[in-house]
């Protein structure tokens, strides 16, 4: 994995919690656990007093939105998945 992509994937993790306002302002959201890309309106469940999204596909709290400053693309979500969920 490209070193810049690795650093970005690590840094983006901070944007996956306490982010309801950021997700609301995002054009698209994605899960770096199951790699699904979806619209904010599809998020049904929240944790952390309603401020951290659970993925509508897998119910894991690994959601980021493009308002975070990071891309919500298959490539970037895969890099995050490898960084945070691979052994």
First to last CA, the chain: 15
* Banded pLDDT at 1 (limits 50, 70, 90): confident
CA 82 to CA 18: how far, in whole Å? 22
- Provide mean pLDDT across the span 56-74: 98
Q: State pLDDT tens for residues 19-59.
A: 999 999 999 999 999 999 999 999 999 999 999 999 999 99
Query: Tell me, what DSSP letter sits at residue 13?
Result: G
**pTM for this one?**
0.94
Mean pLDDT estimate for the chain: 96
């Amino acid at each position: 994995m490209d070193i810049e992509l690795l650093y970005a994937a690590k840094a983006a993790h901070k944007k996956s919690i306490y982010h309801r306002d950021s997700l609301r302002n995002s054009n698209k959201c994605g899960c770096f656990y199951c790699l699904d890309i979806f619209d904010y309106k599809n998020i049904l469940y929240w944790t952390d007093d309603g401020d951290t999204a659970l993925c509508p596909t897998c119910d894991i709290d690994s959601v980021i939105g493009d308002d975070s400053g990071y891309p919500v693309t298959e490539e970037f979500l895969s890099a995050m998945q490898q960084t945070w969920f691979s052994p």
